[in-house]
Amino acid sequence: MSMLEIDDLHVVVDGKEILKGITLSIPAGEVHAVMGPNGSGKATLSYTLAGRAGYEVTRGRILYRGEDLTALKPEERAAKGMFLALQYPVEIPGVVTLNFLKTALNAQRRARGEPEVDALRTLKLVREKATALKIGEDMLKRPLNAGFSGGEKKRLEILQMALFEPKLAILDETDSGLDIDALKLVADGVNMLRAPDRAMLVITHYQRLLSHIVPDRVHVLAKGRIVKSGGADLALELEQRGYEQVAAA
């Protein structure tokens, strides 16, 4: 079964068409990568999938587990099991990280008609997942992302992914701002979450993340269209030959 089915997707931002007919299908259990140069529409694709206001779908559709997402709000998509790890997680001073995790977890559970979890149970759940990502309790007590290093922010994104257990995870430029050790830590976290009932879309500019998170398929995005698709080797080819040559071939 297809977890995500994107069909001829056109998206307009500020009156300008950024995505010009994207077609893409990700089956459950697979990890797909979308690679593209700056300005190719990568961020637009991830924001559109998550339902951000201002990203207008003018043609085509997005099917998530067979359901058309286009009219759903971001919070509704999240409750249905979609997760977007942001390139730049937002700093929110005044909201304690652990409280945020509990609020988000319970908002999703409430929307699904599941019972809420109390603070103690949340803490236990978070602790289980946090250790592998080397996230200490002190980090959870700090305000959300405020003053976190690049690595800390990305680890917290992956912690949320582990906590919310999404069916579809979209990782937007998760490698940006990470040194080699942090990259490996984050990639290991993602790999642990690979599962037969979960699909992932890894959006990235560089090949290096894909050495750690090896994708089943690679798609090349250029000027708002998928211009080439292939196996994991395609990422290496891009790294060696550059986007222009591969896109033209």
Partner 1 sequence: MTALALKLNPSADLFQEDFAANSGDLPGAGLAWLDERREKAMDAYVMTGVPNRRVEAWKFTDLASELEDRLESTAAGSAPYIDEKVFGVAEGARVVLVNGILWDVTQAEGLEIVDLGKIDAKTPDWVCANLGLLASGPDQPMGAASLALMRSGVAVRVKASGVLNLDFVNPPLARDAVSHTRILIVVEQGASLKLLQSHSGAGTHQSFANIGIEFVLKAGAQLEHVVLQAEAATAIHVASIGAVVARDAQYRALYAATGARLSRLDVNIHLDGPGAHASINNVAVPGYGIADTTTVMDHAKPHTTSRQLFKSVVGGRGRSVSQGRVLVREGAVKSDSHQLFKALLMSPRAEADAKPELEIFADDVVCGHGTAIGALDEDALFYLRARGIPEAEARGLLVRAFLEDAISGIAGEAVHDALWRKLDVALAAFDGAET
Chain residues binding partner 1 by CB under 8 A are: 50-53, 73-75, 77-79, 84, 86, 88-90, 92-95, 100, 103-105, 107-108, 111, 143, 160, 164
Dihedral sign, CA of 62, 63, 64, 68?
positive
Between 53 and 249, CB nearer to partner 1: 53
The tokens of 34 are what?
């979308």
Between 148 and 164, CB nearer to partner 1: 164
Alpha helices by DSSP H, listed for 112-149, are 119-130, 137-141
Q: CB 90 → partner 1: shortest distance, Å?
A: 4
Q: CB 91 → partner 1: shortest distance, Å?
A: 8
**Partners of 226 in the beta sheet?**
221
Between 109 and 208, CB nearer to partner 1: 109
CB 175 within 8 A of CB 209: yes
CB 45 within 8 A of CB 34: yes
Between 37 and 89, CB nearer to partner 1: 89
Q: CB 116 → partner 1: shortest distance, Å?
A: 12
CB 86 within 8 A of CB 49: no
Between 53 and 120, CB nearer to partner 1: 53
Q: CB 108 → partner 1: shortest distance, Å?
A: 4
Between 51 and 189, CB nearer to partner 1: 51
**Who contacts 160 (Cβ-Cβ below 8 Å, separation ≥6)?**
83, 85, 101, 104
Q: CB 106 → partner 1: shortest distance, Å?
A: 9
Q: Cα–Cα distances in Å, from 144 out to 69, 88, 94, 114, 170?
A: 28, 13, 8, 25, 21
Q: CB 234 → partner 1: shortest distance, Å?
A: 29
